[in-house]
Amino acid sequence: MSKVIDFQTDPSSYRHWRVEYDGEIASLYMDVDEKGGLFDGYELKLNSYDLGVDIELADIVQRMRFEHPEVKVVVLRSGKDRVFCAGANIRMLGGASHAHKVNFCKFTNETRNAFEAAEEESGQKYIAAVRGACAGGGYELALACNWIMLTNDSSSSVALPEVPLLAVLPGTGGLTRVTDKRKVRRDLADVFCTVEEGVKGQRAVDWRLVDEIVPNARFDEVVAERAREFAARSKKPSGLKGIALKPLSRSFGEDGSVTYSTVEVAIDRDAGRATITIKGPDEDAPADTAALHAQGSDAWALRCARELDDAILHLRLNERRIGLLTFHTQGDGARVAAHEAFLLDNRNFWLANEILLLWKRVLKRVDLTSRSMVALVEHGSCFAGMLAELIWAADRSYMMLDEFEGDNRPLAAIRLTAGNFGAYPMSNDLTRLQTRFLGEPEAVEAAQAHIGEPLEAEEAEKLGLVTYAFDDIDWEDEVRIFMEERASFSPDALTGMEANLRFAGPETMETRIFGRLTAWQNWIFQRPNAVGETGALKRYGSGIRGEYDMERV
């Protein structure tokens, strides 16, 4: 699978989904085009999906929040008869590279998290209206909704059959949401996850697998009734007017580079390194919320977040041999801080709030990317507010100390803002500074006392905001040695090490989902019991069950 995967799409290009808007209620239909697979060699039968289907879903969820803020309830349902969703396409998984399988699982979970959080963050409640078979990733789609309705008939059921059928886990998000979100009793969950045919009817309600069952004859009527009921209960303001998410400005170079309006990605494949440079705003912050709304998706903060998100996804899926990401910024840190301050001061305006929430999601995407990362705080950089978060998202950071010969740019400085102390929590529900200083919370308070100050290298290092500060004599050698050393290590060992070190502190449902994906599913996807020539994933659909090495490790 060497095809370049594009994460940009729009409603005119959808092949697998359709959306009907009716005031405060949106109906989202999954109607997968069997012939519309992202790659050759399989058909997407029974509403099964691949990454292409999920790319469209991610776009819909994003547009729902920005283009249709008037929506309070989203009803997710199937556009096909007798099947809700059969889950991830098995032939796609069987033929995909290991890296594609794992990245696919990660992206689907990030997408599920986005619409799962839509209710809490944006007042958009998702209802799963399940009619027909709902298995594997199909049930994971339903699990990410905050209310599940199941038709009470002989053919409608929910199931997580991956363990008995495929010898793999249910995307890790499925198991975690069953236990952590729906709080299904452990022994009943054990039965559920080992029964191929799944669970239906009243038992599904009794076991907490769904919220209600509805007679088939009244299903559409009750779903509509429930949607209106939830919309009426919503505390979200009515009559909000959305903005259009314009296509990103983006061009690709022959050398693999990608250029956006605020982000540049330079690729050095020989060194296994990508340099991501983010340009701060040229213009001042909007004068008021009307000006922000008029700018729409051209507003710097929104444009930059969307472009960085696309760049990270591109590197994850299309540049898998790039092992090190280096973050650079260029511009006026005070101006970046002013743009962020405007958003924070106007969080009661829906668009300002949505932009901040998008930055929260994008920065989480950075945290969860299996690459070594370093932030280089150079002269002329603008690591402030949301951009400063990249310093603490990185595994290490290096900062220029004092003047450099022949360099007339402003001295390197970091600007802390109010946003760094709560606006962008990690998956562990702590800020990156709280996670960084888990053993010395007083260091967070010490840093907070410097909000708004341009902190140069000596002070930044003293406050623990960077790993090292080097002067003109040592900078080039120290950075080069780090990069060469990183390139010499095993990427497998680095992925494991980094994933362990990045998420100190409390566990959450989200950290468990991605931790289990990094460790358990990553391992299982390489085991012969699943992907060997006689493994269950390879043999699925042949009528022959997989052969297993029964040794436990």
Q: What is the mean pLDDT of each run of 10 residues along the chain (553 residues)?
A: 85 97 98 96 96 98 98 98 95 92 94 93 97 96 97 96 92 90 97 96 98 97 98 95 97 96 97 97 98 98 98 97 97 98 98 98 97 98 98 98 96 98 97 98 98 98 98 97 96 93 94 90 92 92 91 88
Question: What count of other Cβ atoms lies within 10 Å of the Cβ of residue 312?
Answer: 23
The phi, psi pair for 403, rounded to 5°, reads -75, 150
Predicted pLDDT of residue 1: 43
Strand (E) or helix (H) holding 29: strand 25-30
- Cα–Cα distance measured from residue 267 to residue 256, given in angstroms and rounded to the nearest whole number: 6
Can you tell me whether residue 75 is helix, strand or coil?
Answer: strand
DSSP per-residue letters across 489-518: S-HHHHHHHHHHHH--S---HHHHHHHHII
Find the DSSP H helices in 196-332.
201-206, 219-233, 289-295, 300-318
Residue type, 514: F
Helices (H) and strands (E) in the chain, counts: 24, 20
Predicted pLDDT of residue 518: 86
Q: Which domains occur in the chain, in start order?
A: 11-233 (3.90.226.10), 251-494 (3.90.226.10), 498-539 (no CATH)
- Cα–Cα distance measured from residue 237 to residue 104, given in angstroms and rounded to the nearest whole number: 35
Residue 85's contacts (CB-CB under 8 Å, 6 or more residues apart) are: 30, 46, 47, 48, 49, 78, 134, 135, 137, 138, 139, 141
Q: Quick one: three-class SS letters along 345-403?
A: HCCCCHHHHHHHHHHHHHHHHHHCCCCEEEEEECCCCCEECCCCHHHHHCCEEEEECCC
Predicted pLDDT of residue 36: 96
- Cα–Cα distance measured from residue 131 to residue 102, given in angstroms and rounded to the nearest whole number: 29
Q: Are 192 and 199 in contact (CB under 8 A)?
A: yes
The sign of the dihedral angle between the CA atoms of 477, 482, 487, 490 is positive
Predicted pLDDT of residue 2: 61
Predicted pLDDT of residue 541: 85
DSSP per-residue letters across 192-231: HTT-TT-B-HHHHHHTTSSSEEEEGGGHHHHHHHHHHHHH
Residue with tokens 């009470």: 152
Residue type, 298: D
Is this model's pTM higher than 0.85 or not? Answer: yes
